[in-house]
Amino acid sequence: MTDIVRAYALKPLPALPPTQRWRCDGGCGETLPGVDQIERGSETSPEGDVISSTKMAVWRSACCGQRLFIFDHATGSSTDWSD
Ligand SMILES: [Zn+2]
């Protein structure tokens, strides 16, 4: 099986103002963004064998690989941030 990692550019991380923090969607609280690889699809032969899979780099929480959101301590609001 051949992994094909697409040359997608990672979405640039926004520079957060001092009142905003990255948070983990898994409930861990504050975290940092980390790069993860997700599978975008795979190709299989007529026999059902996986020939290749396409992967893509995305931002996920560094703690446990969940999605990220931004919490603003000044306003108490959360902003989804997905790539
Ligand atoms: Zn987490």
pLDDT at residue 62 is higher than 90: yes
Using the mean position of ligand 1's atoms as its centre, give its distance from the Cα of residue 64 in Å.
4
Using the mean position of ligand 1's atoms as its centre, give its distance from the Cα of residue 11 in Å.
20
Using the mean position of ligand 1's atoms as its centre, give its distance from the Cα of residue 63 in Å.
4
Using the mean position of ligand 1's atoms as its centre, give its distance from the Cα of residue 68 in Å.
9
Place of tokens 């108490």: 76
Contact 10, 57 (CB under 8 A): yes
Greater confidence, 4 or 69?
Answer: 69
Look at residue 1 in the predicted model and tell me its pLDDT.
Answer: 57
pTM above 0.95, yes or no: no
Look at residue 3 in the predicted model and tell me its pLDDT.
Answer: 61
Q: What is the pLDDT of residues 23-39, one digit of tens each?
A: 999 999 999 999 998 88
